[in-house]
Amino acid sequence: MDFSLTSEQEMTRQMVREFAERKVSPVIKEYDRSHRPNLDALGRMAELGILGICIPVRYGGAGMDYICLGLACEELERVDTSLRVVMSVHTGLNCLGLFQWGSEQQKQRWLVPQARGERYAAYALTEPGAGSDVVALAATARREGDVYVLNGEKMWISLAAVAHNFLVFAKTDPRAAKAHRGISAFMVEREMAGVTTGDIHGKLGVRAGSTGWISLADVEVPVENRLGEEGEGFKIAMSCLDNGRYTVAAGATGLIRASLEASVAYAHERRTFGREIAEHQLIQQMIARMARDYEMARLLCWKAGWLKNQGQRNTRETSLAKWFATEASFTAASDAVQIHGAYGYSDEYDVERYLRNAKGACIYEGTSQIHELIQAGYALDHRGDRPLRCELPAYDPGYWQT
């Protein structure tokens, strides 16, 4: 058992850390206050190969492994949650979904430009009336000859107003005996007639991120844009979530670390009753809990990433990492605000942004309650992982880096 990082993994972590600290940290308050995405940072991430970090070189990516993906997400969220959200949606949910389920033609058409960062991608599953209850989605895809006609509304879609390509889930057989078998997946392009998008305003957190809605009105999508077979949409959606949840967990780990670092620095700076507040035991208790939870969250993420590298199913492990890390990050951010006192309640310090951003991760890509039920299902042997037609390939340097 070896917990050390490879030279490539360490190099990746350092590269993303330097990028986040030098290019993002100085401007994040400005973008957060103005509620607008940092598109310049997205362009720089594309230049550095971060957006396609774990995609093989032959498909436009950087050829790194899944641990590198997790490390990149940790370093990004340590500074700015919104850029980690981009990694979750563009890389985890969409690009890895294409890599896992797409035909060679589909990979060349969409994955290559996305991995290069030439086109941004989103994942459109959630609807106004369907979130955790995926089979309740109302969007439909009716086949007419060589095209499917898509109609429906998607809500709370990250990068909705920025992305060029959308992985959209819709019902092709609303009357299927088992509802989840009536869902199919499609690659939809912004340029298609009938596609409109907009932003959602007034969010509590991730204000520097693009979050919005997508409307599909008689959108004609060619049959060759269907990902997988008709009726495989639910499997595709869930397998994509295994990848997205991994990035969320890794990002939340970075937010725990950010809260810890900020709290330690302030505890040494602030003095009360004639001494540093770092000497007060209740302050020490909160900081000790952050240090504990950071180590636990990081180990859970590394285990999930290791399983991905081995090509092993990791639904249970990724769910556990996401559940623990996101809940722990919210607690860490809340304690960080408490340690900072009145200043923590102001955006003069970063910890108030950490707290607002941390709450979102306890909701998206499976609420904490959904993950609690998933873990109970595994523990009680009520739940088993059914085999997929396509598993995420194990990491092979000889293949990935050529």
Active-site positions read: 365
Q: How buried is 257 (Cβ within 10 angstroms: 0-12 exposed, 13-18 middle, 19+ buried)?
A: buried
Other beta carbons less than 10 A from residue 275's beta carbon = 9
The radius of gyration of the chain from alpha carbons, rounded to an integer in Å, stands at 21
Distance CA 258, CA 77 (A): 8
DSSP assignment letter at 83: H
Category of 47 on φ-ψ map: left (φ > 0), alpha (ψ -120 to 50) or beta: alpha
Q: Which residues contact 154 (CB under 8 A, 6 or more apart)?
A: 124, 125, 126, 127, 139, 160, 166, 168, 213, 214, 215, 216
What is the rounded CA–CA span in Å between residue 310 and residue 110?
Answer: 26
**Could you give the C-alpha distances from 86 to 67, 76, 162, 208, in angstroms and in order?**
17, 10, 10, 11
Residues 240/167, Cβ–Cβ less than 8 Å = yes
Q: Determine contact, residues 371/320, Cβ cutoff 8 Å.
A: yes
Bridge partners, 183 (sequence order): 171
Secondary structure element (H or E) that encloses residue 305, with its range: helix 281-310
